[in-house]
Amino acid sequence: MSEVKFGEMKENVVTRKAFTLSKARETLKDEVIAVLGYGVQGPAQALNLKDSGFNVIVGQREGSASWDKAMVDGWEPGVNLFSLEKACEKGTFLCYLLSDAGQIAVWPTVKKYLTKGKTLCFSHGFAVTYRQQTGMVLPDHVDVVLVAPKGSGRSVRKLFLQNKGINASYAVEQDVSGNAQQKALAYGVGVGSGYLFETTFKKEVYSDLTGERGVLMGALAGIIEAQYEVLRENGHSPSEAFNETVEELTQSLVPLVAENGMDWMYSNCSTTAQRGALDWLPRFKKATVPVFKSLYKSVASGEEAARVIMENSAPDYKKRLDKELQAMGEREVWQVGRAVRKLRPET
């Protein structure tokens, strides 16, 4: 553990320098890690663990596109690719990476194989925090931990291959072995996390649902579409409206924020831009604080969870989501995006 100052607050974090890969391998040397689910997070975590030298198998329901994808990625049926049930039986460290709604459906099978000495690992606090709605009551004789990479599975794999990493949170819900925290940290290092910070299942899911509905996705697309439409209503061309709203954001400014912070990005823009942005920042903040407060309330009350469980448990949930995403892609701003991307100079 290293103590790091974040502003005025001190936090203990775990770096890969402090918790090395060889220590991680040693910690999990007797475990068969079963990654259950080969959707978005599953492939990234399973492949990273395999490349890091862990004993890992994949559990995936047969006959679906995810099963085929696992085979394309080199997992062999009967060797290290199994049905969900078989993987639950063979695995000792079960990492539950089905969709949050899928986890509810398959829980009776997983629970059956959670015998004494096994570990159950999640990448989201959803199932456990909203247990009254998910019905997932944990058996009290197993370790239950969480390792949640703070990024899409695509980035978890991509950055691992670049020898970088996505930061992840970790938590221990049940520690029967007395070694649950070490196991969680070892798993986190194995999947190639950047640094690991401590959380609880509840804090993880509250912050995660708020983040994705807010700044990371919902608010991001919402304010982009709002600004684009106002520019268009005022006679600006699609190209101009898109460049001033999205292309400059993603290609120029956000990378600067990632590199050295918001104030540094501001300081590298014109003084005209700085003056105006500093004036308008508090107005946007004031306008959106009530929205964020009501979002957090909806997360904490379980309203968001109930909606996700109901919607994403429907047999045609994927089709319905895809239809809404297609409608998004057809809105002018995102169509213009496709055209603008094609015009980017070849690298």
Ligand X SMILES: NC(=O)c1ccc[n+]([C@@H]2O[C@H](COP(=O)([O-])OP(=O)(O)OC[C@H]3O[C@@H](n4cnc5c(N)ncnc54)[C@H](OP(=O)(O)O)[C@@H]3O)[C@@H](O)[C@H]2O)c1
- Which residues contact ligand X by CB under 6 A? 37-42, 60-61, 64-66, 97-100, 102, 105-106, 123-124, 126, 148-149, 152-153
CB contact set of 100 (below 8 Å; sequence gap of 6+)? 124, 126, 127, 134, 308, 309, 312
Active-site annotation, residues: 124
d(CA 169, CA 207) in angstroms, rounded, equals 11
Q: Count Cβ atoms below 10 Å from residue 123 Cβ, excluding itself.
A: 23
CB of 126 to ligand X, least distance (A): 6
CB of 244 to ligand X, least distance (A): 30
CB contact set of 174 (below 8 Å; sequence gap of 6+)? 138, 140, 142, 143, 144, 180
Q: Running DSSP on this structure, what letter comes out for residue 150?
A: S
Query: What type of residue is 156?
Result: V
The token pair that represents 207 in the structure block: 């912050």
Query: What type of residue is 307?
Result: R
H-only helix segments in 153-302: 153-161, 180-190, 201-213, 218-233, 238-242, 248, 254-260, 262-267, 271-300
CB of 219 to ligand X, least distance (A): 18
Closer Cβ to ligand X, 28 or 166, answer by number: 166
CB of 22 to ligand X, least distance (A): 26
Q: Are 96 and 110 in contact (CB under 8 A)?
A: yes
CB of 305 to ligand X, least distance (A): 12
Closer Cβ to ligand X, 54 or 126, answer by number: 126
Category of 63 on φ-ψ map: left (φ > 0), alpha (ψ -120 to 50) or beta: left
Closer Cβ to ligand X, 149 or 190, answer by number: 149
Q: How many residues are there in the chain? A: 347
Q: Running DSSP on this structure, what letter comes out for residue 196?
A: E
Closer Cβ to ligand X, 26 or 62, answer by number: 62
Closer Cβ to ligand X, 105 or 278, answer by number: 105
Q: Are 51 and 160 in contact (CB under 8 A)?
A: yes
Closer Cβ to ligand X, 97 or 336, answer by number: 97
Closest residue to ligand X using C-beta atoms: 39
CB of 341 to ligand X, least distance (A): 22
Closer Cβ to ligand X, 61 or 90, answer by number: 61
CB of 42 to ligand X, least distance (A): 5
Interior angle at CA 274, CA 272 and CA 280, nearest 5: 105
Q: Is the dihedral of CA 216, 107, 310, 293 positive or negative?
A: negative
